[in-house]
Amino acid sequence: MNLKFLLFSSVVIPNMLLAQASLRDTTLLSEIMITENRLQIPFSKQSRNIEIIDRAQIQNLPVTSISEVLTYISGVDIRQRGPFGTQADVSMDGGLFDQTLILLNGVKISDIQTGHHSMNIPVSLDAVERIEVLKGPAARVYGINALTGAINIITSTSAVNSASINVQSGSSFGRKEEGDGKGVYAGGTAQAVLNMGNPKFRNLVSLGYGKSNGQRYNSSTLDKKVYYQGKYLVDKANEIDLMLGYIDNEFGANGYYAAPGDRESYELVKTFIGILGSSHNLSDRFILKPRVSYRNNKDDYRYFRNDLTRARSEHETNALAVEINSLLNTNIGDFGFGVESRSEKITSTNIGDHQRYNHGLFAEYKTEAIRDLYLNVGTYVNYNTQYGWQVFPGIDAAYLFMNQFKASFNVGSSQRLPTYTDLYLTQPKNVGNVNLIPENAWQFEFALRYFTNNTYVQGGYFKRRINNFIDWVSDNPDLIFQAQNLGENKIDGINLSAGYKYAIHTNSKLNIDASYNYLNPTTKIYDPGITSRYVLESLKHQAILRLDYSYDNVNIGWANRFIKRELNNPYFISDMKLGYSFPQWKVYGSVNNIFNASYAEAGTILLPKRWVSIGVKWRLY
């Protein structure tokens, strides 16, 4: 391990002194408008810690799912329980998994039952336009539950007709365990993406399928998903948007939630998402955007997969939201206003039947009245029928100097509501707590960035304090866990990132991206004898190196990450992908976990060792 880390560091550190923002063309990146619901701010004028990974980068990474893409974004912590994105928790900058808000095109799709199914995103990877990662408190931008940040999955329609099919399969070549079938561990994915339409009416359709026989006993997976997005341009001032998605997952859940007794557990999860919105330019200065969204999730957890008469939990959640966002341009700056009303309901054989409502009011203001100073202030006022009124203000500021330096500062507050599992779950090893109250956080961050057309270096420091921190803990030898408000949780973090984009000649390009994150909890919140289910697995050190080299039709992607958690052993994962493109075809091969590391991201669930796969992508037209 020490030798691998030394080798990794010898590559990372020199390249961090070079720089360029995440394998992408800085000029094009500067023109991207961050997908917020009110104010529209180009990336070049952002005063927040935001990272974007676009379609070209995603296609060159040795990954098969959105969850795996996120493992290579600085500060993001993915704890997968199975390969191919079957079940994964996502957290940010040392937070817990339900403190990061998940969005699809700016719409909240996080799981209100438990948080473990927030990454049930019905979009195939080839249909993703880009992923925007907003770090730090984001309540004034997106409302509740964006306590440590937000991850926004962006898809888009096109007037250019196209169609593609992508199929890949792989194996670790390890023999399956006795009693878990025959043969070797193997799996594969297939996806199809279709764009069709014209300048007035645009449509995107994606289909996805994934299957594996499990990297260990009772961990097989079967994933199916379908997604539609349509945009109808009524005229120059008005448009209508529709998004529909459905995902059907089932997987062996050995060790997922109640190890070691859940060796025979199995879970089926079905999620439907429907979103209807429109945009209206009522004048040259005023834009109105109403939207309604609905998420239905059905979770069937079978503690004994072959005996449905006992220890079976069936949950169904319904989240319905209505919102109106607006933007007013004036001579003194831009004003954003928004209101939302949200109903969250659960019907469960284990948790019971519950419903709560959330109503929020947004107000934001941004100005560039002072040359080279970008200022953005705002607040979110929230009323929840369980917890009453709260206010979440925030301010972001950035100053550009010497044309190539930008200093930014932001401070803000945010909140996370307890999930229904936190409050009401009743299982032999997991007990909810009806007396829980929301988590509240304050965070400030300072960053300095240097950039040119092909290089970038950034360093930042943040400090976060969470009150009424919620964790699942046990203080008994039987390891019966209960959700508890554990007082105050403080964390300091340092992040460094850099990159370099080099055109060797017209047909040869090299992109390098490197980052390092250090997290330090400054307050101990646990007494001796208390066992935590989640917080003690949070990140301590995270180092990432990504390289992308292309020469004519050949592309090589190499992605590496070193992870050290609070009390767990460190591990180093190296993945590589080699591809060759024909006019309508691309063939590729990947090797994941090249050095055959043994590692776990959630609990004691070991993830696959070395995995070799091959694939082909066919562009029909």
What string of DSSP letters covers 370-427? STTEEEEEEEEEEEETTTEEEEEEEEEEEEEETTTEEEEEEEEEEEEPPPHHHHH-B-
330 burial type by CB count under 10 A (0-12 exposed, 13-18 middle, 19+ buried): exposed
What pLDDT sits at residue 81? 80
Given a cut of 70, whether residue 388 has pLDDT beyond it is yes
Given a cut of 90, whether residue 196 has pLDDT beyond it is yes
What pLDDT sits at residue 20? 33
Give the distance from CA 428 to its chain's centroid.
Answer: 31
Q: In what order do the strands lie in the sheet with 130-135?
A: 49-54, 130-135, 149-154, 100-104, 107-108
- Which whole number is the average pLDDT over 551-573? 93
* Residue 193 belongs to domain spanning: 2-619
Give the pLDDT confidence of 364-380 residue by residue, as tens digits. 999 999 999 999 999 99
- Which whole number is the average pLDDT over 566-571? 85
Asked if 573 and 561 touch (Cβ cutoff 8 Å), the reply is yes
What pLDDT sits at residue 302? 95
Between 594 and 479, the more confident residue is: 594
Mean pLDDT of the chain: 89
Single out the residue of 50, 55, 58 nearest to residue 74, CA to CA.
50
**Residue ranges with strand state E in 254-303:** 266-281, 286-302
Given a cut of 60, whether residue 357 has pLDDT beyond it is yes
What pLDDT sits at residue 175? 86
- Which whole number is the average pLDDT over 437-445? 95
Characterize the bridge pairing of strands 333-348 and 312-330.
antiparallel
Q: Coil, strand or helix: which one is 61?
A: coil
What pLDDT sits at residue 607? 85
Give the CA angle between residues 223, 227, 230 to the nearest 5°. 175
**Rounded-to-integer distance, Cα 160 and Cα 198, Å:** 7
Residue type, position 443, single letter: Q
Confidence of residue 257 (pLDDT cuts 50, 70, 90): confident
Give the pLDDT confidence of 408-435 residue by residue, as tens digits. 999 999 999 999 999 999 888 889 999 9
For 91-112, give one letter per residue: b (16+ CB within 10 A) or e. bbbbbbbbbbbbbbbbbbbbbb
Asked if 142 and 109 touch (Cβ cutoff 8 Å), the reply is no
Q: What percent of the chain has pLDDT over 90?
A: 71
Helix or strand run (H / E) with residue 110: none
Between 271 and 31, the more confident residue is: 271
199 burial type by CB count under 10 A (0-12 exposed, 13-18 middle, 19+ buried): exposed
**Rounded-to-integer distance, Cα 93 and Cα 271, Å:** 28
Between 488 and 542, the more confident residue is: 542
Characterize the bridge pairing of strands 201-212 and 184-197.
antiparallel
DSSP code, position 501 = E
What pLDDT sits at residue 434? 96
The count of domains in the chain is 1
What pLDDT sits at residue 529? 77
Residue 29 — φ and ψ, nearest 5°? -60, -40
- Note the maximum CA span of the chain: 72
**Rounded-to-integer distance, Cα 386 and Cα 108, Å:** 20
Query: How many other CB atoms are found less than 10 A from the CB of residue 161?
Result: 14
Between 15 and 274, the more confident residue is: 274
What pLDDT sits at residue 104? 96
Give the pLDDT confidence of 275-323 residue by residue, as tens digits. 999 999 999 999 999 999 999 999 999 999 999 999 999 999 999 999 9
Structure tokens belonging to residue 257? 């939630």
**CATH code, domain carrying 531:** 2.40.170.20
Between 101 and 115, the more confident residue is: 101
Asked if 156 and 375 touch (Cβ cutoff 8 Å), the reply is no
- Which whole number is the average pLDDT over 348-374? 95
pTM here is: 0.92
Single out the residue of 225, 172, 224, 230 nearest to residue 197, CA to CA.
230
What pLDDT sits at residue 18? 35
- Which whole number is the average pLDDT over 504-531? 84
What pLDDT sits at residue 523? 60
Highest mean pLDDT of the ranges 44-58, 155-169, 600-614 = 155-169
Residue type, position 367, single letter: T
What pLDDT sits at residue 47? 81
- Which whole number is the average pLDDT over 493-515? 91
What pLDDT sits at residue 615? 97
Q: Note the residue count of the chain.
A: 621
Tokens 């500060």 belong to which residue?
75
**Rounded-to-integer distance, Cα 140 and Cα 340, Å:** 12
For the CA atoms of 38, 138, 418, 255, what is the dihedral angle to 10 degrees? 110
272 burial type by CB count under 10 A (0-12 exposed, 13-18 middle, 19+ buried): middle
Asked if 77 and 519 touch (Cβ cutoff 8 Å), the reply is no
Structure tokens belonging to residue 482? 């209960």
Give the pLDDT confidence of 14-50 residue by residue, as tens digits. 343 333 333 344 445 556 777 778 887 777 777 888 8
- Which whole number is the average pLDDT over 451-458? 92
Structure tokens belonging to residue 163? 């169609």
